[in-house]
Amino acid sequence: EEPGRDRHLDHGRDHGGAPHMIFEEMESAKAEGAILAHSLRVGAATFKKGRVLTAGDVEALGQAGIARVTAARLEAGDVPEDQAAAELAHALAGPGLRVGEPFTGRCNLFAEADGVLAYERERIDAINLLDEALTAATLAPFETVAARQMVGTVKVIPFAAPRAALDKAVSLARSGGPILTLHPFRPHNAALVMTRLPATKESVLDKTHDVLAARLAAMGSRIGKEYRCAHEEAAVAHAVADALAEGFSPVLVYGASAITDRRDVLPAGIARAGGEILHFGMPVDPGNLMLLARHGTTPVLGLPGCARSPKLNGFDFVLSRLLAGISVTREDVMRLGAGGLLKEIASRPQPRDGTGSAAAAKPSAPRVAALVLAAGRSSRMGAANKLTAEIEGKPMLARVVDAALASVASSVTVVTGHEDNEVRAALAGRAVRFVHNPDYAEGLSTSLRAGVSALPADIDAAVICLGDMPDISARHIDRLVAAYDPDEGRTICVPTFSGKRGNPVLWGARYLAEMQDLKGDVGAKHLIGEHEDAVCEVPMPDAATLTDIDTPEEMARRRGA
């Protein structure tokens, strides 16, 4: 055997997978093209886990006296981790979901709107049982989610997946349609019927109305009409019948006294109004005493007492599905017991959310603003302003801004300076924010300071783009955003091509304050060196991140390309 081959890993062999990927300790001199398994300090540089070693890297290892490294080599039938993760994520994603760019073998799925996530758990399980190299994780089924919230992730266990297993996983994901679907909330005009007993205080009913109105508003709906009536069968029937006749949906009925039987006042009144009682009770606590009924296609719900509270309860599980256009049957209600214990207990002391959504506590897509620097005089270009010069029928700056607008960036801010009016005209009609830098002649640092000061306060990071890089695309920016992960220490993301670093660079918000101290005609490059441990190099598919236009000759070459 070759030295070190005893460390060869054979992923997933105990359950039918085919051998793939050599993983071993090897001579550094023979490691070109291998994938580094562990981060290494190589002289003044850090080679991070997952780096594909180049000839230059091998030379640097030798110069640093590192004779052996632990690395992986892909074999025939292996699919690189990013490609495999993206293939499976796209197969999983149904309507209403956005697939992020893959990075380090992970590809995340995000909600495009507020709504309810639905999927077939059995197919998720089947995919995870195929091979240990492939994993798919999701939020709980029928969970309420917010726009931009992460709802699922695919992770390929480094550094590749067997093609045969990946093909099976993709086939499972697509058989019968995509597994994961977001059902966006649809606006509803609901009716609220509340009953009174002689001792009932109007202030209690007012509070109940306000809590339910807030609950509906959080999911894009409203109370269209409220009825207050006696806690009597005939009065409930009259109110429910009127609400149905006026077309309100759903009809929510809250009793001054809790429902104790499907023949009690509230269900009897609903039935008298022509409603059908589908099910009474639910295996969720709090929320046991909920009544599920309908009149034709209109849902009618008898609310449990806990619906008066803003805390999450079983009523939220049913209401969120209905407002997202998902029908709820008696069997659906009866299956809510697994995960249905919602009471705060010693092992789970956190407070419950008042809207029925835990979205605020869930991972979400980072809010990354794009900052485009377009204030310079382009003195090397001569009299012409290169930023407004056209390439393929569009101003060069507009190409960069359009890439930022098409990316996942949450906003785009453009810093102007030289020929402010002409630059703004070149971007007419685009949804961007402008900030003018009157001190642009003093150098790049002034534009950075002006731009950073104008960024939204709630961002997690900013990707700083140069206006003279006409071949930057949305995908380049999206790959930087996908790489950003504070939990894993990736807070400065730098694009690379053939081992060379380029632009744009993504900066975590924590570094923006340091940019306010920059002086003269310098950018933030030196900050990268000062925070090298936080730097993540993001390989790009082409040289666009290395290519800017500074001279008439370079412009002529680009136009002739």
For residue 43, is pLDDT > 60? yes
Q: Is the peptide bond before 19 cis (omega within 30 degrees of 0)?
A: no
Nearest by Cα to 318 from 329, 310, 309, 308 = 329
Residues in the chain: 561
Helix (H, G, I), strand (E, B) or coil at 299: strand
Q: What is the mean pLDDT of residues 164-176?
A: 95
| Structural tokens at position 104 | 């380090």
- Please tell me the distance from the alpha carbon of residue 434 to that of residue 427, in angstroms, as a whole number: 10
- Please tell me the distance from the alpha carbon of residue 411 to that of residue 211, in angstroms, as a whole number: 33
Q: Are 149 and 115 in contact (CB under 8 A)?
A: no
| Beta-bridge mates of residue 300 | 251, 293
For residue 559, is pLDDT > 90? no
Nearest by Cα to 184 from 96, 272, 52 = 96
pTM, two decimal places: 0.84
Nearest by Cα to 379 from 413, 428, 417 = 417
- Please tell me the distance from the alpha carbon of residue 284 to that of residue 340, in angstroms, as a whole number: 4
Nearest by Cα to 468 from 367, 376, 351 = 376
pLDDT cut 90: percent of the chain above it: 79
Q: What is the DSSP string of 438-473?
A: TTGGG-HHHHHHHHHHHS-TT-SEEEEEETT-TT--
Question: In the structure, what pLDDT confidence band is assigned to residue 356 with cuts at 50, 70 and 90?
Answer: very low
- Please tell me the distance from the alpha carbon of residue 350 to that of residue 255, in angstroms, as a whole number: 29
Q: How much is the pLDDT for 412?
A: 98
Q: How much is the pLDDT for 362?
A: 60
For residue 19, is pLDDT > 80? no
Residue listed under structure tokens 């995870």: 128
Element (H, E) at 62: helix 55-63
Question: In the structure, what pLDDT confidence band is assigned to residue 521 with cuts at 50, 70 and 90?
Answer: low
- The chain-wide mean pLDDT, for the chain, equals 90
- Kindly list the distances between the CA atom of residue 448 and the CA atoms of 53, 283, 396, 439, 471, in Å, as whole numbers in the listed order: 34, 57, 20, 11, 22
Q: Order of strands across the sheet with 35-36?
A: 22-27, 68-73, 35-36
Reported as half-sphere exposure (CB side, CA atoms, 13 A), residue 191 has a value of 22
- Please tell me the distance from the alpha carbon of residue 285 to that of residue 305, in angstroms, as a whole number: 11
Q: How much is the pLDDT for 524?
A: 81
For residue 83, is pLDDT > 70? yes
End-to-end CA distance of the chain: 51
Question: In the structure, what pLDDT confidence band is assigned to residue 178 with cuts at 50, 70 and 90?
Answer: confident
Residue listed under structure tokens 């509270």: 309
Q: How much is the pLDDT for 46?
A: 86
User: Looking at per-residue confidence, does 498 or 246 come out higher?
Assistant: 246
Q: How much is the pLDDT for 6?
A: 38
- The radius of gyration of the chain from alpha carbons, rounded to an integer in Å, stands at 29
Element (H, E) at 25: strand 22-27
Q: What is the mean pLDDT of residues 276-292?
A: 97
Question: In the structure, what pLDDT confidence band is assigned to residue 44 with cuts at 50, 70 and 90?
Answer: confident
Q: How much is the pLDDT for 141?
A: 94
For residue 3, is pLDDT > 80? no
Q: How much is the pLDDT for 12?
A: 41
Q: How much is the pLDDT for 379?
A: 67
Q: How is the chain split among helix, strand and coil, in percent rounded to 5?
A: 35, 25, 40
Q: Are 346 and 375 in contact (CB under 8 A)?
A: no
Cα-flanking dihedrals φ and ψ of residue 356, to 5°? 85, 5
For the chain, which domains are there? 22-73 (3.90.105.10), 79-183 (3.90.1170), 189-359 (3.40.980), 368-560 (3.90.550.10)
Q: Are 481 and 110 in contact (CB under 8 A)?
A: no
Q: How much is the pLDDT for 551?
A: 86
For residue 498, is pLDDT > 90? no
Nearest by Cα to 275 from 303, 254, 295, 297 = 295
For residue 244, is pLDDT > 60? yes
Q: Is the peptide bond before 552 cis (omega within 30 degrees of 0)?
A: no
Q: What is the DSSP string of 268-282?
A: HHHHHTT-EEEEE--
Give, in degrees to the nearest 5, the angle at Cα 37 between 31 and 42: 65
| Residue 7, amino acid | R
Question: In the structure, what pLDDT confidence band is assigned to residue 488 with cuts at 50, 70 and 90?
Answer: confident
Handedness of CA 537, 543, 545, 549 (dihedral sign): positive
Q: How much is the pLDDT for 363?
A: 72
81-85, 224-228, 521-525: the lowest-pLDDT one: 521-525
Longest dimension (CA), the chain: 91
- Please tell me the distance from the alpha carbon of residue 558 to that of residue 561, in angstroms, as a whole number: 5
